[in-house]
Structure 1
């Protein structure tokens, strides 16, 4: 018997009277030799063998290939695998692919194996790593299923945000900013630079307010989406009660993100500003523009790296710094995926919102008269009628964009935690799914 485990077959240990290393069982000592029995043929086969034996060369191993024209017996079906399908060479699929497979070696496992069991879906998403379509569908399903709570939160945030934009444009931006030099061919470089600065300032302030509204809506809708994943509803009061303790930290997180974003852009533009102040205006402007572009790229990378900090702060009840580090950990290695999904969701939401906003913009221009001419001229002097009517369209559009972008952000956070931390097991227990994760293959 060999010392290597697993090589010796059961019952192969040497018996009594057999020398170690012998290849067969020991013969009894008193057994007579068949060749020495009376009437036996010394050259013939052993006793009780027929003398008509096949000639040499026609012997075949018991496990060899079947003879030509002979159909091999089908393999016995194992428990749970079902009957193997018939292949081109006969039953069992021996003709084309591997034994036991169908044509081409695929799909011959029978009807008893249907793949792994489907993931549990107690709410708007299945509890497994999600695809892009499932994330978008989950956000839309949340808005459709819990529309009262979702639209109530979105409408409140959109109205507050749009009122701030209208008041800021009506009282401040219309008087403080001037872009007339952009339409003047004889304008000097200083006038063009000042006009570009005013336009960027106006757009940045409006974008900043809109971004604040979007982040606040995301934070308030985080509770709704997280409950929708479990198949549980939540009212506006419950959502606010759950989010209220984290609101001060949320604004601190928002302030830190904006400070970081504008700080990076300003750091990129600072060398050009210094060169311009030194007297080299042409080179300074070019260097400033390049610096702003470079700073914007870095700020964009940082923004999406920390884009999951808001759901982490609201759901994990973490601090500001801890939420930023959690987002960076979840996004690490998946930045392009997070960026692409959020960009796609933003594009889809804004296209849908534009279908609503554009008609209101034309209606506002038709009702205000002068504002429509000012828009065509490229000036920023917009009347109150135009601001109010177009603001109504913006509110309706924000009611569509906020739930989609917020839902996608929260579902991306959940998806990344499922992929990295097996959050689906905890979600299944929270949703009351019985025996989830115990019947999977290999468990």
Structure 2
């Protein structure tokens, strides 16, 4: 075996050209002091001592100190493990970042592969947010086309319902201090009906946009583009299951909060008055925390259902497994992404709301007056602002959820290796050795 720097220590194995069993380097025939030349060692031929002497001019006898009682000076410090050897012209270590034997520095693991919008390794918070924005920026035709189509259809339905049906619901009693209990109950029911219908329509649009954008984001991770038609063909078999998943999650959250409020409601019915109402509020808050914990625990069920082609219950189980041990991280990233998306959307939506209120004749005071009946001008102008805001919120929230799902699978299941192979990268294991920011 050859003595390779950094692998075998010198003298541990015979070098090339040396007979096995020899303990030292081959000695030249004309070397002074050999057994067949004058001046051989007095110990006689075959002396191991004379054969192991190094060639002339390669070493010098150690010299003692001038003062016998003084210790010899320490040797000069040599290069350490991390020191870089002197550069040689045209060779490694010449400033080019090459290797240099024992003294060369270790440059760390190779960088992770990045075929698409994220590097294929565990991601940090900033990389997840940047990946969602990069997907929207790189594949803007598909992303904005999907978001615009879903937002326009959703807002048209909302405007028609608010202008033709829900606008007749009277909520003026909510601002009237002299209103009777029956009037307040009727007004509160109308307001809840109007809000619930709008929320339901918006939820349907969000589900469709999430289903389509999940496919786009998953392809963007591999650096592959996808058209709107391809995204729809890929997502269509799972859309019905996605609807069922979202409605099941809403049902779970409402049921958990209702269980907490039920004792207080029963106390109010029994005549407990303010004490029962307070108990209902405290119970709702306590179970609301439980509902929030469950929603975060199941928050990755949507991409699991769409990308793994799982059923509803299996997707919930997959999400719970991926989030286990990382609840606070998943919650924090999703909360941050929601805040950023809603703040940016509000910057766009609020000016349209003020302009719509001014053009409708209600003025700015109409925005805070719950009993105002806005006309078609207000509904159309504010709807345009809502469409633009949805074009921002849909890609960010859906993209962050998908990238969180991919990140958790990379951390727990080494998904980066499969992603690298799917992207056509030969060294599919290089991404696993990279750093782990935010891990």
Using the size of structure 1 for normalisation, the TM-score is 0.73
Of 384, 390, 398, the residue aligned with 2:376 is 384
CA distance in 2, matches of 1:380, 1:420: 53
Deviation at 1:397, TM superposition (A): 0.7
Deviation at 1:180, TM superposition (A): 2.9
CA distance in 1, matches of 2:137, 2:275: 54
The Cα RMSD (Å) is 3.3
Q: Is the 8 A contact 2:121 2:432 kept in 1?
A: no
Q: Which residue of 2 aligns with 1:403?
A: 395
Q: What is the aligned residue count?
A: 363
The answer to whether the aligner puts 1:72 opposite 2:63 as a matched pair is no
Deviations 1:106-148 (A, max 9, x none): xxx9764222111110000000111111111100110011111
Q: Which residue of 2 aligns with 1:412?
A: 404
Q: Which residue of 1 aligns with 2:330?
A: 338
Unaligned runs of 5+ in 1: 1-9, 11-30, 32-51, 61-65, 86-108
Q: Give 3-state SS (helix, strand or coil) of 1:114's partner.
A: coil
The answer to whether the aligner puts 1:142 opposite 2:144 as a matched pair is no
Deviations 1:264-312 (A, max 9, x none): 2222222222222223332333233223323332222211111111100
Q: Which residue of 1 aligns with 2:19?
A: none
CA distance in 2, matches of 1:84, 1:306: 58
Q: Is the 8 A contact 1:117 1:440 kept in 2?
A: no
Q: Which residue of 1 aligns with 2:341?
A: 349
Of 356, 362, 367, the residue aligned with 1:375 is 367
CA distance in 2, matches of 1:341, 1:355: 21
The answer to whether the aligner puts 1:118 opposite 2:111 as a matched pair is yes
Q: Which range is displaced more, 422-431 or 166-175? A: 166-175
Q: Which range is displaced more, 358-367 or 312-321? A: 358-367
Deviation at 1:330, TM superposition (A): 0.7
Cα 1:179–1:208 shift into 2, 3 Å: farther
CA distance in 1, matches of 2:344, 2:409: 30
Deviation at 1:56, TM superposition (A): 7.5
CA distance in 2, matches of 1:308, 1:340: 14
Of 224, 242, 262, the residue aligned with 1:232 is 224
Q: Is the 8 A contact 2:263 2:280 kept in 1?
A: yes
The answer to whether the aligner puts 1:317 opposite 2:309 as a matched pair is yes
Of 238, 262, 269, the residue aligned with 1:270 is 262
The answer to whether the aligner puts 1:155 opposite 2:157 as a matched pair is no
CA distance in 2, matches of 1:350, 1:196: 27
The answer to whether the aligner puts 1:292 opposite 2:284 as a matched pair is yes
Q: Which residue of 2 aligns with 1:83?
A: 85
Q: Which residue of 2 aligns with 1:38?
A: none
Unaligned runs of 5+ in 2: 1-11, 13-42, 44-63, 88-101, 435-439
Q: Is the 8 A contact 1:269 1:292 kept in 2?
A: yes
Q: Is the 8 A contact 2:112 2:433 kept in 1?
A: no
